[in-house]
């Protein structure tokens, strides 16, 4: 689909900021939004009227196709502020590439790169006071696109809305995470949309995740849909397994999201001469490693959570604990990653994108 747009961004500023009402020391992830949001509509084959306006509700028909056929994709990004007040994005070009890849898979129009970056940078400049300095603080960024054509015929929409919201954030998970390895439910299948950040992928996870929570676990490690033999993702994160001194992670493909944090963890590990294998990981080899003591670590990696060590996993009603003093790689890689994101360490990879 076309990526043309008819005009540059119009900015409508708020009269009074809501920032004084926010307790930045007690944030619940994703519940508070900054003063402004970005909105752009796809009509008659082009993106039109890109606008930054005060954050507020939308008026949308209940007949909009997003509600009936789930044409919706999104991204997750973060902005960081260093102690000098400089604001940075982390590898944002990859988020733009991925939301367009997701859009193509969902038969939705791609969004122009120039408007994407102008919108991001203008929003962050307007709402930079919502980004607090300090390790662990960030501004979570949620770009998304939805189908807005009115009609319940089973066909792709010809109208869409692209938006960007900003939400101040702290840690996504507090403490270690306990997980269940899936034996019945699946996240995605070959030929499906598992590689895309399609909204329906996440909605389908909630029921089996609720079952896991009822058993005292926070997340599910998903397995392949065919035989449930191979480990794939952990909840909303890519997942790594350390057996002896080697990191194992599933290869990306139809079923697995090509995570930006995942890419970065692999690059950081290789820089430290940590052996990384991107290959199918059998449930049986991880269970065997847990039994014989060669399983040293499991950790999830994603934008919201950054890196989350797993303290225990359950499979076939047996729970295997991972001692907290085994989180060496997870903590090392998390520190190196966050130091780059917060401009504490030299960025030898060229990942930081300065905004202010």
List pLDDT tens digits, range 63-121: 999 999 999 999 999 999 999 999 999 999 999 999 999 999 999 999 999 999 999 99
Mean pLDDT of 199-227: 95
Fold matches, 10-169 and 177-341: no
Residue 251, CA distances (Å) to 188, 205, 281, 294, 352 in order: 14, 20, 9, 22, 25
The better pLDDT of the pair 3, 204 is held by 204
pLDDT at 11: 98
| Residue 228, number of CB atoms within 10 A of its CB | 16
> Where do the domains of the chain lie?
10-169, 177-341
Which string of DSSP letters, residue by residue, matches 6-62?
SS--EE---SS-SGGG--TTSPPTTS---SEEEEEEEETTEEEEEEEEE-------T
The pLDDT score that the predictor gives to residue 2 is 42
Q: What local confidence, expressed as pLDDT, does residue 324 receive? A: 79
pTM of the model: 0.95
Residue whose C-alpha is closest to residue 113's, from 137, 126, 131, 95? 95
Q: Of 15, 11, 92, 76, nearest to 50 (Cα)?
A: 11
Residues 245-256 have pLDDT tens digits of 999 999 999 999
CATH top-level class for 177-341?
alpha beta
Is residue 173 scored above 90 in pLDDT? no
CATH topology assigned to domain 10-169:
D-amino Acid Aminotransferase; Chain A, domain 1 (3.30.470)
pLDDT at residue 353 greater than cutoff 50 = yes
Calculate the average pLDDT of the chain: 95
DSSP string, 303-356: TTTEEEEEEEEEETTEEEE--GGG-HHHHHHHHHHHHHHTTSS--TT--EEE--
For residue 55, give the nearest of 76, 32, 73, 77 by alpha carbon: 32
Rounded to 5°, the CA angle 182-187-189 comes to 115
CB 102 within 8 A of CB 254: no
Mean pLDDT of 33-60: 98
Q: Is the pLDDT of residue 244 over 50?
A: yes
Cα separation, 4 vs 42, whole angstroms: 9
Judged against a pLDDT cut of 70, whether residue 238 lies above it is answered with yes
- Once rounded to an integer, what is the mean pLDDT over residues 6-33? 93
Task: Indicate whether 7 pLDDT > 70.
Answer: no
């Amino acid at each position: 689909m076309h990526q043309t747009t008819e005009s540059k961004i119009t900015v409508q500023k708020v009269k009074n900021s809501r920032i004084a009402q926010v307790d930045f020391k007690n944030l619940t992830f994703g519940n508070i939004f900054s003063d402004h949001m970005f909105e752009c509509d796809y009509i008659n084959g082009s993106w039109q009227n890109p606008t930054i306006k005060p954050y507020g509700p939308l008026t949308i028909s209940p007949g909009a196709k997003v509600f009936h056929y789930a044409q919706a994709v999104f991204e997750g990004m973060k902005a960081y502020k260093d102690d000098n007040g400089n604001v940075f994005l982390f590898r944002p070009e990859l988020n733009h590439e991925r939301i367009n890849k997701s859009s193509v898979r969902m038969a939705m129009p791609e969004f122009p790169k120039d408007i994407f970056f102008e919108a991001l940078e203008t929003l962050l400049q307007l709402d930079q006071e919502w980004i607090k300095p300090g390790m662990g603080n960030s501004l979570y960024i949620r770009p998304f696109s939805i189908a807005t054509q009115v009609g319940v015929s089973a066909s792709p929409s010809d109208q869409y809305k692209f938006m960007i919201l900003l939400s101040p954030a702290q840690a996504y998970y507090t403490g270690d995470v306990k997980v269940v390895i899936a034996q019945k439910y699946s996240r995605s299948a070959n030929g499906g949309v598992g590689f895309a950040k399609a909204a329906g992928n996440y909605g389908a996870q909630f029921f089996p995740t609720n079952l896991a929570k009822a058993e005292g676990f926070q997340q599910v490690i998903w397995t392949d849909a065919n035989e449930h033999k191979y480990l794939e993702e952990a909840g909303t994160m890519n997942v790594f397994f350390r057996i002896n001194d080697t990191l194992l992670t599933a290869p990306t493909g139809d079923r697995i999201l090509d995570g930006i944090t995942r890419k970065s963890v692999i690059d950081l590990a290789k820089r430290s001469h940590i052996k990384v294998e991107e290959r199918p990981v059998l449930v049986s080899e991880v269970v065997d490693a847990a039994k014989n003591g060669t399983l040293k670590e499991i950790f999830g990696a994603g934008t919201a959570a950054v890196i989350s060590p797993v303290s225990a996993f359950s499979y076939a009603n047996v729970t295997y604990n991972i001692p907290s003093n085994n989180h060496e790689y997870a903590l090392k890689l998390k520190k190196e990653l966050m130091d780059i994101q917060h401009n504490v360490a030299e960025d030898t990879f060229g990942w930081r994108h300065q905004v202010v």
